[in-house]
Amino acid sequence: MQSITKKEKEQKLQKLKEECNKCKRCSLGATRNNIVFSDGNPDAKILLIGEAPGADEDKTGIPFVGRAGKLLTKLIEDSNMSRKDDFYICNTVKCRPPENRVPTDEEKQVCEKYLMEQINIVNPKVVVLCGATSAKSFLGSKLKISQIRGQWFKILNNIDATVIFHPSYLLRNHSEEPNSPRWLTKEDLKKIKTIALPK
């Protein structure tokens, strides 16, 4: 993709957000309070894709703002990165599925055009697939997250992508002992930093 300025990216994303805001192409459009479009820096080298908005996100219109989001922010900061500056964050779907259920394939397909356009506009160096739903959307993998996290793949137009545990899973796993899920996630984030943000 031809390089565009941060301001041009912001304008394109705002236009896409306005289009997304009008979307009623699946049943989630009827039950949402807000679309949850994105957070972070449109010019970031790292684009993180989560699963779907939860109740807190549906209320605020911002991804990863609940307990899981606060943990994600802490893990990013512990890895000497900035959520605001170094990441652009979005989800596979822009509306909250009822009762926080996993989005259906149909719902993901309806939202796919918005997600692909976000990736195209941001043009990141690295895509981080956060959790099983996000990973399966791109890798079509039936493997468990524990088997594929930390590995690197090429997706779309040859973008480097990796998989990390979803922070909601880490909320249930408090240990930070070596090889625990939290410890592994910190290691994964360090690796992401060296690839996306080399000194």
pLDDT value at 156 more than 70: yes
Mean pLDDT of 100-126: 96
Q: What is the pLDDT of residue 142?
A: 78
Tens digits of per-residue pLDDT, 18-75? Answer: 999 999 999 999 999 999 999 999 999 999 999 999 999 999 999 999 999 999 999 9
Helix residue ranges per DSSP H, 33-160: 55-60, 67-78, 83-86, 105-122, 132-139, 145-148
Question: Tokens at residue 25, please?
Answer: 């192409």
Question: Tokens at residue 42, please?
Answer: 């449109």
Query: Given its phi and psi angles, is residue 190 left (phi above 0), alpha (psi -120 to 50 degrees) or beta?
Result: alpha
Tens digits of per-residue pLDDT, 168-195? Answer: 999 999 999 999 999 999 999 999 999 9
pLDDT value at 166 more than 80: yes
CB 42, CB 122: distance < 8 Å: yes
Q: What is the pLDDT of residue 144?
A: 86
Q: Is residue 198 part of a domain?
A: no
What is the C-alpha R_g of the chain?
16
Q: List residues bridging with 192 in a β-sheet.
A: none
CB 94, CB 36: distance < 8 Å: yes
Domain count across the chain? 1
| Buried-exposed string 141-173: b where 16+ CB fall within 10 A, e elsewhere | beeebeebbbeebeeeeebbbbbbbbbbbbeee
Q: Is residue 129 part of a domain?
A: yes
Domain boundaries, position 14: 6-193
How many residues are there in the chain? 199
Q: What is the pLDDT of residue 109?
A: 95
Q: Which residue has the higher pLDDT, 140 or 90?
A: 90
Q: Is residue 91 part of a domain?
A: yes
Q: Is residue 1 part of a domain?
A: no
Helix and strand tally (H, E) in the chain?
Answer: 10, 6
Q: Name the DSSP class of 164.
A: E
Q: Is residue 94 part of a domain?
A: yes
Q: Name the DSSP class of 79.
A: T
pLDDT value at 87 more than 80: yes
The whole-angstrom separation of Cα 95 and Cα 25 is 11
pTM of the complete model beyond 0.85: yes
DSSP assignment of 10-36, as one string? HHHHHHHHHHHHT--SSTHHHH-SS--
Q: What is the pLDDT of residue 2?
A: 61
pLDDT value at 78 more than 80: yes
Cβ-proximal residues to 109 (8 Å cutoff; 6+ apart), any chain: none
| Residue linked to tokens 């992401």 | 192
CATH of the domain at 64: 3.40.470.10
The whole-angstrom separation of Cα 55 and Cα 53 is 7
